[in-house]
Structure 1
């Protein structure tokens, strides 16, 4: 009986996508820190509220550049490589630049709606500590997976992309 290695293109569990997302957050912390360090040096900003809008635009672009370059080159960020995940189109091909950009913009929608809800709740209750609920914003991406037949993220469903499991499996 000979065993032949092949790659499965099944969809990974929520747990594996969540684990990759948490690892991604650690790496993004470093990216955000580095980008803001350079930004503050160049603009001579003395606190985070100086040039707040410009700071947010720069971060959106820097994080987007990180994701787009990773997705376009190999379909994987470092955490996705660690967890043997790859981002592909619905038919299994590499993402084009426009599709990668489309997916990047779409993936912000649910977390931003949640962030707006946190802001409204905080204003309504008068408790500034309610703002701490913002840490759960990235997890809103998983809500749609419980309603989707293939457990895809909403932004993947709309963009025609999917994250696939690329772990080698032995076939007999």
Structure 2
């Protein structure tokens, strides 16, 4: 007698978010980040006697990169979502589903600049990777998931 049992299927999770959803979140964050960088500039402007920064001042550029890192690092380690990610209903987690630590967030941040700097190839990798991970996700051991309601 051939008995066929009906498998119990757990509620399947939706596929990881694609490139356009991630870029939408990044664009949303870029608008917010512009305001944060403006405020960060206002904070240090009095230290220069009110003088403007030179266009290619490496110290000021490093300061702005640090501000951007603090922005993303804080959101990634405190809930896994920037405001843009929240609006687009995606969350960043470790490969095992746990929250990110600061070291993992730092590695992802640096690798994301590399992914972007190489003509965006690290981001385009999402179209090739079966788990839809960008280079910086693979290197930092992170993944994006759909935000549960």
TM-score range, shorter chain: 0.7 to 0.9
Instruction: State yes or no: 1:150 paired with 2:131.
Output: yes
* 1:161 equivalent in structure 2: 142
Structure 1 CA distance for aligned equivalents of residues 109 and 141 of structure 2: 12
Indicate conservation of the 8 Å contact 1:9/1:165, yes or no: yes
Structure 1 stretches of 4+ moved >4 Å: none
Aligned residues: 139
Structure 2 CA distance for aligned equivalents of residues 87 and 102 of structure 1: 14
* 2:85 equivalent in structure 1: 80
Change (3 A) 1:106 1:45: farther
Once the two structures are overlaid, the 10-residue window that deviates more, 24-33 or 143-152, is: 143-152
Higher relative contact order (CA 8 A, sep 6+): 1
**C-alpha deviation, 1:45, in angstroms:** 5.5
RMSD: 2.2
Structure 2 CA distance for aligned equivalents of residues 60 and 100 of structure 1: 14
**C-alpha deviation, 1:154, in angstroms:** 0.6
Once the two structures are overlaid, the 10-residue window that deviates more, 49-58 or 73-82, is: 49-58
Ranges in structure 2 where 5+ consecutive residues have no aligned partner: 1-10
Once the two structures are overlaid, the 10-residue window that deviates more, 50-59 or 63-72, is: 50-59
Structure 1 CA distance for aligned equivalents of residues 34 and 132 of structure 2: 27
Structure 2 CA distance for aligned equivalents of residues 44 and 7 of structure 1: 59
Q: How does 1:125-144 map to 2 (within 5 A)?
A: 139-144=120-125
Task: Return the TM-score normalized by structure 1.
Answer: 0.72
Task: Return the TM-score normalized by structure 2.
Answer: 0.82
Q: How does 1:60-75 map to 2 (within 5 A)?
A: 60-75=65-80
Ranges in structure 1 where 5+ consecutive residues have no aligned partner: 1-5, 115-138
